Amino acid sequence: MRQAGRYMKSYQIICEKYPSFRERSENVDLVVEISLQPWNVFKPDGVILFSDILTPLSGMNIPFDIIKGKGPVIFDPIATAADVDQVREFSPEGSVPYVGEALTILKKEVDNKAAVLGFVGAPFTLASYVVEGGSSKNFTKIKKLAFSQPKVLHSLLQKFATSMTKYIRYQADNGAQAVQIFDSWATELSPVDFEEFSLPYLKQIVDAVKQTHPDLPLILYASGSGGLLERLALTGVDVVSLDWTVDMAEGRRRLGHDIAVQGNVDPGVLFGSKDFITNRIHDTVTKAGKGKHILNLGHGIKVGTPEENVAHFFEVAKAIRY
- Per-residue model confidence (pLDDT) at position 294: 95
- Per-residue model confidence (pLDDT) at position 2: 38
- Per-residue model confidence (pLDDT) at position 290: 87
pLDDT digits 0-9 by tens, 152-180: 999 999 999 999 999 999 999 999 999 99
DSSP code of residue 134: B
Query: What residue ranges do the domains of the chain occupy?
Result: 9-241
Count the Cβ atoms, other than its own, within 10 Å of residue 214: 7
For 219: left if phi > 0, alpha if psi spans -120 to 50, otherwise beta; the answer is beta
For domain 9-241, give the fold. Answer: TIM Barrel (3.20.20)
Cβ(263)–Cβ(241) below 8 Å: yes
- Per-residue model confidence (pLDDT) at position 25: 64
pTM tops 0.85: yes
- Per-residue model confidence (pLDDT) at position 321: 75
- Per-residue model confidence (pLDDT) at position 3: 40
- Given a cut of 50, the residues of the chain with pLDDT beneath it are 1-8, 11, 13-14
Q: Round to the nearest angstrom and report the end-to-end CA distance of the chain.
A: 24
- Per-residue model confidence (pLDDT) at position 6: 40
CA-based nearest residue to 32, from 51, 46, 17, 15? 51
Residue 294 backbone dihedrals phi, psi, to 5 degrees: -105, 110
